[in-house]
Amino acid sequence: MSEERFMDKIIEVCLRRGFVNPTAEIYGGAGGFYDYGPLGTLMRQKIIDLWRQSFVLDEDNIFEVAGSVLLPEAVFKASGHLDSFEDPLVQCEQCNSMFKADTIIKDATSQIAEGLSLDELDKIISKNNISCPNCKGTLSKTREFNLMFKTEIGPTGGINGYLRPETAQNIFINFKRLVNFMRNKLPFGIAQMGSSFRNEISPRNFLIRGREFEQMEIEMFYDHDKENEHPRFHEVADIEINVVTREMQEKGWDEPLKVTTEAAVEEKLIPNQYLAYYLAMETEMLQAMGVPEDSFWFRHMQDNEAPHYSAGNFDLEADLSIGHMEIIGNALRTDYDLQKHAKATNSNFEIAMPDGKKVVPHVCEPSLGVGRIFYTVLEKCFREDNRGWTWFQFPPVVAPLEVAVFPLMKKDGLAELAQEIHQELKDAGYLSFYDESGKIGKRYARADEIGIPYCVTVDYDSLKEYSVTIRDRDTMKQIKLPLEDLEIALGELMDGEADFDEFKEFEQIEK
């Protein structure tokens, strides 16, 4: 399977260069847990910062909160997770391995079995003679397995607590306070970035399906009667998104439908403006991160695939080496959660509108998986030449390090000047890395491998005439320019305001 090997190549770089590694690997790990290393953490933070800036801070009616990860049982009893947040589990009667029933069916028959009843799953397994993928043993009957991690809060005799399986519930249970903070005016959004936990039966595919993961979510509350009056929809109306409708899924499809968000709402391909707004935002964000626009689309999920609270889900699916993978979930949660918590706590979650109408708002939820986006960016930016050398062609906006500064040699004051330049770039806010060890070609290769967009080299000319050389990772072109212009030139290159060929006034060196 050459596809598996492609992911393995990326994992190999991740392990060796400090992006990501399995948690507790010296103890054999625990399956589905990953630690971000030094470079991974820098890049992950950039992804979070990009989301925070465009999805939260740039908006006037959206605020971020940060709630507890561990929540008391009552919350999940009301939300339905205690009863419904389950996966169908089958176990091998010979080797005791456990599997998610619909996954094992999909692997064996390519049939999508998500959301089917236990009976239906058992029938498919039996009809297709599906046996244990590990030992070919007979599989047990399917049973439900709740995916929440359970613990006990307080000393003996305490209450049950669960690690949240999604960040959203913190927002719903704080609804009264949040509405008050927003002065009872719809629409408004509450964002949250944080860890969620799902005790997956068989975690797989590296960062794509882990047991602990981070989400960037927004619960956007709006009056359902005004679902097509999003105040900023006009700003995204012309943005083209890729859509896979239910009809296309029934008939079979080769390419997603490319359509503007405005047309998508008008033609009812997307249920409303609130949802369409986020599909546009996500499209723009992924493209800015180096994920090509033709490599992802929004698929209208089938009813039996969507979560228990959903009135319409549009997953952002990416075309990855391991198949079509859900990277972002977009759900219309209606007023399901608010009504559940209102009932369970005897609360009133109605908001009085200016015209006197009372409304329990509906919710549109874009839920972005940090690890999934992280992996998608890694895969889509991965490059390999015919010598087997690899590098990440990260756009500067997600590159874990933005510039590397190299003295050609350590001696004759080159190292000192290079250190000084490195420090000045850091002070100016660049993620700069200083490296003086090894041959210069080796240093370029090491920098390319981790996707540093620009290398700045300090050589003897630098001492004589205060010049430095900037090398572009992708073209390997070099330009020499006065030291005093470095900071501005780098800024323009990183922002895409200039490219190498525009620096005509400077001496250009083709490699």
> Considering only residues 296-355, where is the footprint of a second copy by CB under 8 A?
341, 344-345, 347
From 228, 267, 256, 360, select the one nearest 315 (Cα to Cα).
Answer: 256
From 49, 10, 35, select the one nearest 398 (Cα to Cα).
Answer: 49
Among 7, 36, 113, 166, binds a second copy (CB under 8 A): 36
Q: Which two tokens stand for residue 458?
A: 């300090």
- Interatomic CA distance for residues 130 and 138, integer angstroms: 8
C-beta of 44: minimal distance to a second copy in Å? 6
When asked if residue 155 is in the footprint of a second copy (CB under 8 A), the reply is yes
Among 63, 231, 353, 440, binds a second copy (CB under 8 A): 63
When asked if residue 208 is in the footprint of a second copy (CB under 8 A), the reply is no
Beta strands in 150-199 (DSSP E): 150-153, 159-163, 188-197
Amino acid at 116: L
| Interface positions, 408-427, toward a second copy (CB under 8 A) | 426
Among 159, 463, 488, 509, binds a second copy (CB under 8 A): 159
Rg (CA), the chain: 26
Q: Which two tokens stand for residue 27?
A: 């103890």
Task: Tell me the CA end-to-end span of the chain in Å, nearest whole number.
Answer: 37
When asked if residue 183 is in the footprint of a second copy (CB under 8 A), the reply is yes
When asked if residue 34 is in the footprint of a second copy (CB under 8 A), the reply is yes
When asked if residue 21 is in the footprint of a second copy (CB under 8 A), the reply is yes
| Interface positions, 437-476, toward a second copy (CB under 8 A) | 437
C-beta of 154: minimal distance to a second copy in Å? 7
Amino acid at 245: T
Among 123, 150, 234, 357, binds a second copy (CB under 8 A): 150
Q: CB of 412 within 8 A of CB of 463?
A: yes
Stretch that binds a second copy, among 4-12, 35-43, 384-392, 488-496 (CB under 8 A): 35-43
- Interatomic CA distance for residues 8 and 213, integer angstroms: 20
From 119, 90, 92, select the one nearest 103 (Cα to Cα).
Answer: 90
When asked if residue 151 is in the footprint of a second copy (CB under 8 A), the reply is yes
Among 57, 118, 415, 483, binds a second copy (CB under 8 A): 57
Stretch that binds a second copy, among 104-112, 146-154, 255-263, 484-492 (CB under 8 A): 146-154
| Interface positions, 67-96, toward a second copy (CB under 8 A) | 67-72, 74-75, 78, 89, 96
- Interatomic CA distance for residues 245 and 465, integer angstroms: 62
| Interface positions, 255-294, toward a second copy (CB under 8 A) | none
